[in-house]
Structure 1
Amino acid sequence: MMRASGLPLATWLAFFGLMRRYHRYEVVNLAPLLRPGAKLIVGYHGRPLAVDLCMLTVTLHEHLGYLPHGVAHGAFDRIPGMRAVADGLGFVTGDDPRLAQAVARGEHVVLQPGGTREGCRSFRHRYRVDWGERLGYLRLAVRYRLPIVPVGGSGMDDAFVGLNDGYALGRRLGMPARLPLWLGLGATGVWPLSLPFPVKMTQWVGEPMTRHLEPGFDANDRASMLAAHREVAGAVQALLDKARASDPGKAAAA
């Protein structure tokens, strides 16, 4: 896997650098991600895009000198031109052999287990982890011996007001590449033609989790995997709750 470079990287850094200012973005407890060694950053998927995690990658690029490797939606492989963008950003769309190269270099990988199902919900479902029994991220962490760093925060579900369950509607209408069909309102109209509301976003980073790396852990035992999965999901939910509790305005709006 090549590192991010060229126009895609420059565009990414410029755009999400501006978004950091727009959303007055800050990170609480960045230290675990600055320690040596590759880690799997596992986060909540805000709506409709994981903008907070994108901004986190810009912050990490400034500190570490590389853009963490995102595991992106499968549509990147199916929509013309998007594969080149993903390659330019150092992103993959699954358990790609190039991941081993990135891990060997000690570089972080970023993943949102909830995907568009979590990110494209209505305003009725906010700041609640919804991963079901999606264990792919955990298998990835076991295979590459990656500690899992949970992240959550506040603000990411306030940038747009979701009007429907985009994941369910997309599946019902047979959208290509399993894309969601989500309707949301922002500061200047309807997404994706609208600016987000200029809410403050704060990212909270947890301590690395290593239950899945302990001697005797059996990745082929579903009960063990589900127990570890619930622990990670619970850690992300706790960070979401803690971040919102620290912000009186968002806590009151819950």
Structure 2
Amino acid sequence: MIFEGILGYLQNHIDIDYSLWITWCLFPLLITFLLPLFIVFLLYMTACMLYLKRRHWENIKATLQVGDKWEAARKSVGALWDTHGYIWHGYEIEGIENLPDDGAALIIYYHGAIPIDLYYLLAKILLVKDRLIHTVADHFLFKIPGFSIIAECMKVIPGTVQSCSGILKEGNMLAISPGGVYEAQFSHHYTLMWKKRLGFAKVALDAKVPVVPMFTENVREAFRTVSTGRRLFLKLYAKFKFPFAPIYGGFPVKMITHLGKPIPYDPGITPEQLQAKVATAIEDLINKHQRKPSNIFYALLERIPKFRKKHL
């Protein structure tokens, strides 16, 4: 009786067609905020895969005869992310020859709302060149449950000048975004937001390695941060050093990572001069390859080859 009464009330007082119309209108908005959760899902899937590899290492070692306990796990994770990039974003790399087949190099990249392009790059280089790129991440990530095992396997560190320089001196490649979370949250128009950060320049000069500039086309059309309430989010970030601006998106736009010509080590250059040189190189990549003003619709169209063009 109670159910019938409720049903009768709904039928008499609610316009079903209107409710369906509202649902239809709000559905795209709902989806744009839910899609970023898929990236979180992939990260936790990565953690789960790595836990499985660590738990059953002895069996894996006996089966695959791998010397490094993480090697099989890395290749599995790399295959997962490379496949996702290929299907969802038609991901490509231009200038892959600018990364060395052996020896050290420092990769400096523009930070999108979510650095999904970096994940794809790590996977591709691991599979194509059989090399692991070490990366520097913000401190808050290491407090997230499940991230520690990803960091252990994929060589992700908080990063100091000394530790980063040591990694490069050992002949490894290292990726750093000078803008970090600040750039990810508040750079809405592909503007570099490095402030006066010189750490990466000091690292490159101390380790005596070349710097490879990197930019990924349409990275901010894939995921964006909400610009409304920018002042509030800036104040919160300044106080807590945590990204509070909501992220939305997950759009399957075309993504191409552009790796510029290496900037060779120059013993006569200062950190300030090197920072300016690298910033100019990345800005040149942005101006050459990124459509401005940025547009999600055109970024989606660029999945079709005939709509691809250079943005001079």
Q: TM-score, normalised by structure 1?
A: 0.77
263, 266, 270: which one aligns with 1:214:
266
Q: 1:12 offset after TM fit, Å?
A: 5.3
Which residue of the partner structure matches residue 255 of structure 2? 201
- Is the Cα–Cα contact under 8 Å of residues 120 and 165 in structure 1 kept in the other structure? no
How has the CA–CA distance of structure 1 residues 165 and 232 changed in structure 2, closer, same or farther, with 3 Å as cutoff? farther
Cα shift readout 1:12-51 (whole Å, capped 9, x = no counterpart)? 54135313321001111110103432100000001x2111
CA separation in 2, counterparts of 1:166 and 1:85? 33
- Is the Cα–Cα contact under 8 Å of residues 78 and 177 in structure 1 kept in the other structure? no
What amino acid is the match of 1:28?
A: E
Q: 1:227 offset after TM fit, Å?
A: 2.1
CA separation in 2, counterparts of 1:209 and 1:202? 21
Structure of greater Rg: 2
* Correspondences of 1:1-254 after superposition (within 5 Å): 5=71, 7=73, 10-11=76-77, 13-46=79-112, 48-95=113-160, 99=164, 102-121=167-186, 125-164=188-227, 169=232, 172-173=235-236, 178-186=241-249, 196-210=250-264, 213-217=265-269, 224-244=270-290, 249=298
Q: 1:206 offset after TM fit, Å?
A: 0.5
- Is the Cα–Cα contact under 8 Å of residues 288 and 310 in structure 2 kept in the other structure? no
- Is the Cα–Cα contact under 8 Å of residues 161 and 203 in structure 2 kept in the other structure? no
Cα shift readout 1:40-83 (whole Å, capped 9, x = no counterpart)? 0000001x211112211111111221320010111133344433
What amino acid is the match of 2:168?
A: V
What amino acid is the match of 1:153?
A: T
CA separation in 2, counterparts of 1:30 and 1:252? 18
CA separation in 2, counterparts of 1:166 and 1:137? 31
How has the CA–CA distance of structure 1 residues 165 and 207 changed in structure 2, closer, same or farther, with 3 Å as cutoff? farther
Taking only the aligned residue pairs, the percentage that are identical comes to: 26
How has the CA–CA distance of structure 1 residues 121 and 100 changed in structure 2, closer, same or farther, with 3 Å as cutoff? closer
Q: TM-score, normalised by structure 2?
A: 0.64
- Is the Cα–Cα contact under 8 Å of residues 69 and 109 in structure 1 kept in the other structure? yes
Cα shift readout 1:173-200 (whole Å, capped 9, x = no counterpart)? 36996221122332xxxxxxxxx00000
SS in structure 1 opposite 2:222?
Answer: coil
What amino acid is the match of 1:62?
A: L
**Total equivalences in the alignment:** 232
RMSD of aligned alpha carbons: 3.3
How has the CA–CA distance of structure 1 residues 18 and 105 changed in structure 2, closer, same or farther, with 3 Å as cutoff? same
How has the CA–CA distance of structure 1 residues 143 and 126 changed in structure 2, closer, same or farther, with 3 Å as cutoff? same
- Is the Cα–Cα contact under 8 Å of residues 37 and 106 in structure 1 kept in the other structure? yes
- Is the Cα–Cα contact under 8 Å of residues 219 and 255 in structure 2 kept in the other structure? yes
- Is the Cα–Cα contact under 8 Å of residues 73 and 93 in structure 1 kept in the other structure? yes
SS in structure 1 opposite 2:220?
Answer: coil
Structure 2: 5+ residue runs without aligned partners? 1-67, 300-308
What amino acid is the match of 2:193?
A: D
- Is the Cα–Cα contact under 8 Å of residues 161 and 202 in structure 2 kept in the other structure? no
CA separation in 2, counterparts of 1:52 and 1:166? 26
